[in-house]
Amino acid sequence: MKRITGIAIALVFALAAAPTALKAQVTLFGTPSNFDVLNDTGKDAHGFEIQMEGITPADLGGVWSASRYPYTVQTTATGIVIHYASPYLNGQYTVTTVVPATFSPTGGHSCVFGAIQGCEHYGYYFTYNGKRPTRTVNRWLVDDPANPGTLIAAPGQVVQIPVPVVIVYPPAAPGLAPAVAFEIPAPEPIIPPIPKPELQFGVPQWVKVLKNEVNRAVIVDDLLEENPVVPVDGNAAQLETPWKLLQFNPHSPNSGVLHSQGNVGNGSKAIIRKYEFYKYSGPVDPATNKALCGGDGLCNSPLVGELGDFIGNQMAAANVGVSGVTVVKTGNGSGSVSGPGKINCGSSCTTPIALGTAVTLTAKAASNSTFVSWTGDCAGFAATCSFNVSGENTVTANFVANAPAGGGGGGATFKISIGKNGKGTVSSDPSAASYAAGTVVTLTATPDAGQAWTGWGGACSGVATTCTLTMNANVSVTANFR
């Protein structure tokens, strides 16, 4: 989800070895990451940039957009840059991140919209099939004194908010859970203006690690400190690593890596880790910059005088699963769906299939029913549907019972089941307990005061507050408020 210099920001995408056509892969279905970061450049900052090598804008799943700074995704000769920059109007910048006098630990996204002076919040994610950067560098942007109104990277400044490398290892044997490893590489040393005769150790920093697992996939917007998926400091069950000193060792390329690995828990779909970074304020070797902590140099935990200022939080997640296809049948009619592998629904409605495999499903209605439409990862009204497996794909086939022969008016009717996450209301037009086949119904979501609208789930999708349905089957809809 890569890394490198000074800051880390890497997420390595690892898959099982090349599969056969119908062999599933244990893989990452997206790797969101977001973080609070302190301005410790010594200068007022007016922007921030995340430089990623080896990818194109199409590989980037999305960017955390709730920032005080407008951003653009720019293409470079070797990759992309997510460039946050303040407007410059009438000789002044309209947005500034000051250097704070003091800075206390945050919960992870406390710096959104400048809620705390001296820090900001940034984030992004990659989809499962997007390429990952080969190298990522973060920089604060400051005014160029030689060219006011132009932003440049803060001279000699390194942003020390690493993002973990995430690697998925397939199960050791059938029926076992995959293992997911998060690796934080230590920041590399800052090159001194006058070369020193001895190799230099990197900038030392303390890190604490918290971990949680949940039984659903998470998105970058979930990685907020008040969201229950994020582990909480003070919860002993979620404390994975009390303290670790990270420091790049020029004599050992494998040193200075915080490695956290474990098998995915039963039913877990996502692993979330929160990293808390602090400066090291203890003594260092003046010749090599090696930390001389703990008196004996073991550096197992900070002693008095060794725990410096809080730098920031990094919250990262890995969505993990087995690629495949699940077919669900709905409506008051009956029928079957056939496809590759074990798809013969009727009897078997789920089968593992390798990522990228082209799949064709065929719906066949029973003699007393009619196939109406596909929803989910299939769409449309034709009896066949084709798509490429992109994760844990789910397809719904809608069958409607035929109206009784000979008239009498008793045609099929269908219902809408509405669920809600958060507080708000959903109204329907027309409003009825059930609807005749072919009725067009418009649903409108209205969040309560203080709640935000985040989008539909189920038979509705998207973030518009209205959704239109044509009633040819019983449907379920979820309205999501936050």
Residue 175 lies in a domain: yes
How much is the average pLDDT of 23-45? 70
Domain shared by 282 and 174, yes or no: yes
Question: In this predicted structure, what is the pLDDT of residue 306?
Answer: 92
- Alpha helix (H) residue ranges in 175-305: none
CA angle 37, 42, 47 (to 5 degrees): 50
Which residues, other chains included, contact 77 with Cβ-Cβ below 8 Å and sequence gap of 6+? none
* pLDDT tens track for 329-347: 888 888 889 888 767 777 6
Residue 33 lies in a domain: yes
Domain shared by 309 and 330, yes or no: no
Which residues, other chains included, contact 198 with Cβ-Cβ below 8 Å and sequence gap of 6+? 287, 288
Residue 162 lies in a domain: yes
Alpha carbons 45 and 460: distance in angstroms, whole number: 43
Alpha carbons 121 and 326: distance in angstroms, whole number: 38
Domain shared by 127 and 159, yes or no: yes
Confidence check: pLDDT of 25 > 80 = no
Domain shared by 396 and 421, yes or no: no
Of 133, 138, 137, 126, the C-alpha closest to 40 is 138
Domain shared by 40 and 79, yes or no: yes
Confidence check: pLDDT of 260 > 90 = no
Alpha-carbon dihedral angle through residues 306, 307, 308, 310, given to the nearest 10 degrees: 170
Task: Tell me the one-letter amino acid at 335.
Answer: G
Contact yes or no for 415/459 (Cβ under 8 A):
no
Length of the chain: 482
**Domain of residue 434, residue span:** 413-481
Of 238, 248, 181, the C-alpha closest to 209 is 238
Q: Which of 401, 426, 450 is the last residue of a domain?
A: 401
Domain shared by 206 and 336, yes or no: no
Domain shared by 267 and 377, yes or no: no
Q: Which of 336, 371, 401 is the last residue of a domain?
A: 401
The DSSP output letter for 172 is S
Q: Which of 367, 401, 435 is the last residue of a domain?
A: 401
Domain shared by 257 and 308, yes or no: yes
* pLDDT tens track for 157-201: 667 676 666 777 766 665 666 777 777 777 667 666 667 778 888
CA angle 260, 256, 294 (to 5 degrees): 100
Residue 15 lies in a domain: no
Domain shared by 315 and 349, yes or no: no
Confidence check: pLDDT of 398 > 80 = yes
User: What values do phi and psi take at 475, rounded to 5?
Assistant: -130, 155
Alpha carbons 87 and 70: distance in angstroms, whole number: 8
How much is the average pLDDT of 420-448? 86
Domains identified in the chain, total number: 3
Distance of CA 338 to the CA centre of its chain: 33
Of 107, 82, 100, the C-alpha closest to 39 is 100
Pairing mode, if any, of strands 416-421 and 475-481?
parallel
